A and B are shown apart, each in its own frame.
Chain A
Amino acid sequence: MPENTAVVKETPEPVKAEAAPAKGAGTGKPRSLWSDAWHDLRRSPLFIASAVLILVLLSMAFFPSLWTDGSPTEADLANNYLRKPEWGAVFQPEWFGYDIQGRSVYNRVIYGARASIMVGVLVTLIVTFLGTLIGMLAGYFGGLLDTVLSRITDIFFGIPFLLGALVVLTSFEKRSVWVVILAISFLGWTSMARVARGAAIQVKQADYILAAKALGASTFRILTRHVLPNALAPIIVVATTALGGYIATEATLSFLGVGLQEPLVSWGVDVAGAFRSIRNAPFVLIMPSVLVSITVLSFLMFGDAVRNALDPKLR
């Protein structure tokens, strides 16, 4: 086995895209499909724009202190619904005003990124892992296992998402980020399982699977070395596109009052709080909702760019 890894180690050597060699000529540097995709991505304006936005959002989530010195929970009732933009001055957090309790909307939005993005990323990871595992097993083995797993998937798929989430979440007294993550994952893995199943069915018909079987490869080896790497592209595309959706879902659930709750800081919580004052202080609503939109849009764009780079039909 160590020898095997030694061989593998040499493959992902970074590829100079400029030296892109001729297709099919067997000349030039090694070029995996991933490095080809990366080469495409780096030239895609869609990818660059969305990647920059996502990096900005991630920096908010992990290093909020880079963006603000204040605290999201520091409240001064004197500032209730106050908004004092000083035009002419450079960027000021005060532009975005204060909420009902006199907390800085700007600070809250920066700190809210963490919960929203954490929900998005973790749900995506859980859903991808679970869905890929179930879908791949069902697709590759077929037969009875497929029938059973597919029916289970169908049952979960049949549950209306919001209704299901309402039922699950209201049964918890206190809802932490983890409860929300698990609830969304619990209801959301089905679409991923379907994609993975379809991809596995397609891949298992390829001759290289037959070739591996003819060599006497174990099922585990076939699944991990042959089926998974080849089924991964559509799964990654769906995962990146879905990530934005999970963030929106968290916001929706929090808005409905069954997601995250105060004193947790999240965009959804903020939107829910601001909604009550939509008439007299609409500015409190704008920033968290705009950020939810930007985040969702960034991940959708990111998913689109990844799809363009990975979709074999376009190459």
Chain B
Amino acid sequence: MAELSKKNEPAEPVDATPNVTEVEVVDAASETAAIAAIEAPVDRGEPILQVRNLVKHFPLTQGILFKKQVGAVKAVDGISFDLYQGETLGIVGESGCGKSTVAKLLMHLETATAGQIFYKGQDVTKLSGRALKAVRRNIQMVFQDPYTSLNPRMTVGDIIGETFDIHPEVAPKGERRRKVQDLLDVVGLNPEYINRYPHQFSGGQRQRIGIARGLALNPEIIICDEPVSALDVSVQAQVINLMEKLQDEFNLSYVFIAHDLSIVRHISDRVGVMYLGKMAEIGTDAQIYDHPTHPYTQALLSAVPVPDPAARENRERIILTGDVPSPANPPSGCRFRTRCWKAQDKCAEEVPLLAVPERFKGQDTPAAHESACHFAEEKDVVHAA
């Protein structure tokens, strides 16, 4: 099994070969091979999900009858990252940076304009039929808003049980009700609540129901799109703790998308910072939070309100001017240059690549992590105690 998954792994980070439509896996044998690869286990610490040059442009059209494209919102514009088995990858960024679109692309809820998503070596963007269904079973999602992500006309039992209707092979019919009750128990809800409706629960409890639904199919990866931002502070901690407990218990890998940097640091092993559809910086949590080299990360960290007067006093404040530009018309070169205090001519001309900056290359320093800035420079804004 292990050989199989290795064989199918992408040899090199692949060049973007635009592939808008799903390619039908005609050959039954290749479909079976793909499914075998998808079902194969991956060792802890090995990449389970590899994203290469992912692009999503939403066309802007004009005209009612004869629509013509007048532009595109470049929501995600060439993003690459790996997710390792058993880890949590945090993705932070402000609204409009494309982080939610990344979640939808990973879930196959949107079709990528270009780029690949490899799940255990299989390009998900090219799968269909049974193979796609197998991938779907293994990648699940927890949504932001616990008030709209549960169908108000269905009972909790139906909401979670629906996963078994769609994937009947996971649970034999006679066991489904018991399985739903087990799941409720796992997420800390009374199994007797199975016949209740979503509106009879509080926000935190609803989010637990959403998590139970995500767990129902025994997935390997859970994409969490702002899973706690709609919850009250005192409830956020409960849900975060639950998610960490479940990760250990079920050996899950998380992609944790959020705008709250403190929460992302708490839960993530590695963190990627997004700005206007591009990845600005990516590294371990200590590299990003204590040794940021991208000016945007530094500004973002310095702006986080910290409820500790002692901590905030020795912190540097970088107040950015202006707003995030429109993703339909992003600045040339480095996208952050319009708000960056370090911007020079080079920044307008050349798109900085996401790589370990030249000056830190080969050095054994926490600053040696991937950062998309021409003038990357370490700056500790948080001043860890």
Contacts and interface: CB of A to CB of B under 8 A. Distances in A.
Q: Is there a direct interface between A and B, measured as CB atoms under 8 Å apart in the complex? A: yes
Interface of A: 1-4, 6-8, 10-11, 13, 21, 23-28, 30-34, 206-208, 210-218, 221, 225-226, 229-230
A218 B129 CA distance: 12
A145 to B, nearest CB: 15
B149 interface: yes
B143 A216 contact: no
Contacts of A32: 153, 155, 197
17 contacts: A1-B165, A3-B177, A10-B195, A26-B196, A28-B200, A33-B153, A33-B197, A208-B148, A208-B150, A210-B104, A213-B109, A214-B136, A214-B140, A215-B140, A216-B133, A217-B162, A217-B166
A2 B162 contact: no
A4 B161 contact: yes
B151 A216 contact: no
A215 B158 contact: no
Nearest to B155: A11
Given A210-B109, A214-B136, A30 B200 contact: yes
Interface in B191-247: 193, 195-197, 199-202, 205, 210, 213, 217
Contacts of B107: 214
Contacts of A3: 173-174, 176-177
Interface centre among A7, A25, A31, A206 (most CB of B within 10 A): A7
A221 B195 CA distance: 21
A10 B152 CA distance: 16
Contacts of B213: 211, 215
B197 A31 contact: yes
Closest 9 CB pairs of A and B: A3-B173, A207-B149, A229-B153, A216-B136, A208-B151, A30-B195, A207-B148, A26-B201, A207-B143
B158 A211 contact: no
B234 to A, nearest CB: 15
A152 B366 CA distance: 64
A211 B143 contact: yes
A214 B201 contact: no
Contacts of A218: 166
A131 B104 CA distance: 32
A1 to B, nearest CB: 8
Contacts of A211: 141, 143, 149-150, 210, 213
Contacts, number: 121
A33 B152 CA distance: 8
Contacts of A212: 151, 162
Given A3-B174, A208-B148, A210-B109, A215 B197 contact: no
B66 to A, nearest CB: 12
Nearest to A28: B200
B157 interface: yes
A213 B152 CA distance: 17
A179 to B, nearest CB: 37
Given A11-B158, A30-B195, A6 B177 contact: yes
A24 B199 contact: yes
Given A3-B174, A213-B109, A26 B202 contact: yes
A25 B158 contact: no
Contact of A230 (B152, B158, B162): B152
A268 to B, nearest CB: 39
B109 to A, nearest CB: 6
Interface residues of B, number: 47
B167 interface: yes
B145 A207 contact: yes
A226 B151 contact: yes
Nearest to A229: B153
Contacts of A230: 151-153
A164 B337 CA distance: 64
Given A6-B177, A31-B200, A207-B144, A215 B136 contact: yes
Given A214-B109, A221-B166, A26 B193 contact: yes
A165 B381 CA distance: 76
B27 to A, nearest CB: 22
Contacts of B132: 216
Interface string B171-186: 0011011000000000
A30 B196 contact: yes
Nearest to A11: B155
B157 A7 contact: yes
A254 to B, nearest CB: 40
A188 B154 CA distance: 32
Nearest to A233: B153
A214 B141 contact: yes
Contacts of B197: 30-33
Nearest to A26: B201
A27 B150 CA distance: 18
B149 A7 contact: no
Nearest to A212: B162
Contacts of A216: 132-133, 136-137, 166-167
Contacts of B152: 33, 230
Interface in B285-313: none
Contacts of A30: 155, 195-197, 200
B251 interface: no
B158 A7 contact: yes
B274 to A, nearest CB: 20
Nearest to A4: B165
B72 to A, nearest CB: 18
Nearest to B152: A33
Nearest to B158: A7
B111 interface: no
